[in-house]
Amino acid sequence: MDKYEKEVLARVKKMVKEKGYTQARLAKALGKEQYTISRYLSGTPFPSLNFLRQLAETLDISLFYLLGLQERSYRELSSKSLSLLEAYEESSPEVKGVIDKILDLSQEIQK
């Protein structure tokens, strides 16, 4: 198992623990055998992308977080950040365009 796979498995185990899942409960939620979950959590074999996607959905976290492509799981975002994301998602395309321009300008100013 390479370094990247070890990091992915570490994040998986961390989130399974934080969400309070046992292997048995996780197996039931995913429709898998506990034996399969045990093997995946040990990295033998390394979990498939499809399994990781299902796991992220079950744990209500970001697949990008599990893969190390995002620093935070959704759960770790503040309630204010979540409220802002929800408001953005519910906005019209015109409002989203304005917000995107403001964010682009903000990033330019910070450089």
Cα angle 107-95-77, degrees, rounded to a multiple of 5: 55
Quote the Cα angle for 71-76-79, to 5°.
130
Q: With a cut of 80, say whether residue 111 has pLDDT above it.
A: no
Closest CA to 77 of 65, 92, 66, 91: 65
How high is the pLDDT of residue 79? 66
- pLDDT for position 85: 79
Q: What is the pTM of this model?
A: 0.62
CB 53 within 8 A of CB 63: yes
What phi, psi does 91 have (nearest 5°)? -75, 160
Q: Report the distance separating Cα 49 and Cα 61, nearest Å.
A: 15
Q: pLDDT tens digit string along 29-79?
A: 999 999 999 999 998 999 998 999 999 989 988 888 888 887 766 655 566
Two structure tokens written together for 89: 């998602």
| 104 burial level (CB within 10 Å; 0-12, 13-18, 19+) | exposed
Residues whose CB falls within 8 Å of the CB of residue 64, separated by 6 or more in sequence, listed in order: 70
pLDDT of residue 87: 86
Report, as an integer, the average pLDDT of 6-23: 93
